[in-house]
Structure 1
Amino acid sequence: MPTTLHTVLDLPHLRLSLFAGAAGLDRPVSWAHASDLDSPWDWMAGGELLMRNGCTLPVSGAAQAALVERCAVAGASGILIGEDPETPALTGALAAAADRHGLAVLTAAYSVSFVAVARAVADANTGEASARFGQIEKIYGALRDSLGDRTGDSPTARLGRDLGCRLLLLDTATAHPVDPAAEAPEPALRQALLTAVHDHDGRIPGVLHVPFTEGTTVLAVEVPAEEPTVLVAVEPPGGDTSLLHHLATAAAVETARQGMLREHERRLGSELLAQLLDARVDPGAAREELAAHRLPAEDLVVLAVPQEDVADQRDLHLALSRRRVPHLLLNRSDLLLALLADRPGEVAAVHQRLGPGTPVGLSGRCALERISDARDEAVWSLALARTSAGGLVRYGDETGFTVLRSHAEARAVVDRVLGPLTAYDRANGTELLGTLRAFLVNRRSWQRTAAALNIHKQTVMYRVQRVEELTGRRLAETADITELWIAFQAHALLRGEVLR
């Protein structure tokens, strides 16, 4: 028989008194716990006797009644108030709330320690503790079997059956299963969990009570993992909070195993993307490989991000996998490249995970055969994104450089305007192109340009004169200067840079 509050109240050595809520004396009590937290109900799993010092009790009747109401909703067994010189008056509102919710409110004399009450409840529940140990043994038995690969079941699935409840291991941000093959929560339960997490500012208290259908208990506990993870228990056995945390420990091992599988998946994806970019894979085989990664052979985009703006490729891969975003990732030439399906929601998910301020270059839509060209488009767009307030630039979108909206246009401008200088420098070992760039960057100052290049001012003047002869453009004419400056912008952007 489980211990009830009536049993605890009748223990003579505790000298407890009933203040209100007599209808709740038949509630079973699993544990007595002292807490001065502002929201102790966030750490309850049900069946606790909450013990509060008088000095931590709210003063107003409304606040005292709210304490009773929230504890009742969380499934507390009762509330014990320790009387001391600072205990405020127990109000009629407190008594009315206790009677209304059938939650017993007890008082303890100043001379009675909370330790004595906790020990008495523990001693009275010795038989219940034996059953609890049996449940804990089931948890770690399932964990041992999973580590030894003795069964194809996940620990979470097996424990749900063994304990007679429903267990779900979910991503905190999306409420999707950590294991893509696992049971998914129904939409109503998923939304209830997301709402409860949002109401707690994304943080999971000791035990999160998830409001669901009336009469159904849904609790969630945090699971230690690389990405925020929760274990959700629907109709968990008993009311022991510690049992849920044992379950979370087992779930952490399962989450780590899923992380290893995702890491293997990431490495395979990186190798495939490298082969696609270098044209080292047969198109037919490439289509099969993309399908295995849940990516189409058409309607793809390449995304480019500076490596220094990505904390960890493993974390990004895990986060995108949790969000059901098919992708391939590859680090190359100080860039992180990603291949995605051209769907706005998936591109937005990547940008959100990287951070809104992260510069992101996005190619135009491409098919399998154009992935290498799409990489160049993404790098081009990234150069523009570094100066974009929005952080993400898609190839072909309007930019600040109106005449430089595409890779092909930029190449044409460079070849037409700067091509003669490049050819002359290559044939004669001169540095006319670099001198012109320095001259424009330094606002056509002979002296500053000479200092920047560490040459004589007369040398700068001679080189600029030769530039005018080869390009057919005069640096005294505004139109010619504008054309040369745009050509240098195009030259820089083709190299993944921004001319300043």
Structure 2
Amino acid sequence: MTLGRTSTVPLADLVRRPELGLVVLAGADRLDRPIRWAHVSELRDPVPYLLGGELLLTAGVNFPEDVDGYVRGLVAAGVQALGFGVTPVYDEVPASLVDACVRQGLPLVALPATTPFLAVSQAVGVALAAAEHAELRWLSEAQAALTRAALRPNPLPTLVTALADLSDWWCALLDDAVVAKAGIEEIDPVVVHMARRLRAVSGRRSGSTEVGSWHVVGYPVAAARVLVVGAARPFSVADRAVIAVALALLALADRSDGRSVTKMLLGDDPHEGYRVVRGQRKARGDAEIDLGTGLVDADGDRMRAIVTTVPDVVAAQTAGWLLAVSSPVGVGDLPSADREAARMLERAVAAGRPVTVDDGVSGLVDPEAAARFAATVLAPLATRPELVETLRIWLACNGNWDRTAAELGVHRNSVRHRIGVVARELGVDLADTQRRMELWFALRWSD
């Protein structure tokens, strides 16, 4: 089944259901015909009561003598297939009916005596419900894919490509020339003429034409551009809804590029700073993150961006991205912020967690150098993890004995004893603020 089409079920889906036991007697090469519903009729001429798109079911009651005329009327009424139930009237499908269906290209299936017509009707209903569910899922996924495309660099060609990838379509964005295209090499002159005509007309409008076997529709976009989409089948309501989403995003992208850049560089608040975000994908995948900016430079598993607010680094990590966020700077200092973010990203990758300016100077130090420093400073305590933990808590509590003891769940004298051992093993004076600071960074970098 092709998603995004009017809800129908291919005849082949019913034929493949073993519980129905349908046998194809004619039109085996036309089982892709879409069935809208199953309808039972024993009238000699059911045509006045048909809407088209049916799988018509009959047991041959009151079957007409003019079999060719009967089949010809069904074909003209848009019946997609005929199902003939053997017994109680016929023990087998009449040969004249098989011949007529073969000649006029109408698929014919035989229903065994064990398959009631109601079972076929229920199977069609179940399949149609599944098709509608799939169509709704397709609509949701299509909107999400188009939105992600609109947030990427060069949104116009990216959106056109994303739209073409949603179905068996080709797409082109045209003005005086081809702005972007996907799924097609050369634009037919008929399509160019239609686009030119649409650009010349004011107000809401659209156009459609056929080019060979392609159904083509065209819609104006802002800035005198036209989006043209070609499909191998007629466009459904769902198809047009997705195209409408693409049109809205194209119009926003077309108008907002200059505005977003100006707003980003000047800002709503003249005193607001700009930050550089660097990121690396932790695992390969399609997860994307919204940084709230159009100024994104993505290259494979790495990206960088200019933002005015600190992004949610925890949510980004959940989505599979490690981020590093620079200090706020003015426009002229963006290159230095980029270098700062690059160093911070190295630290983030080494630590396996996001790094922001809230991490202070520790986020700026080269990860390998930090690791070497920590290993050297803390080497005398390598086999005494209880001393390392005591030192960590004591420094975090600003040397307060009672608070440290409470955190560790030991007596304050035990804390004094352990800190005395640490001082002797490390050969440092823990009353020296600089030594405390060095040990604090060493403990953090040792993680």
TM-score, normalization by structure 1: 0.31
TM-score, normalization by structure 2: 0.34
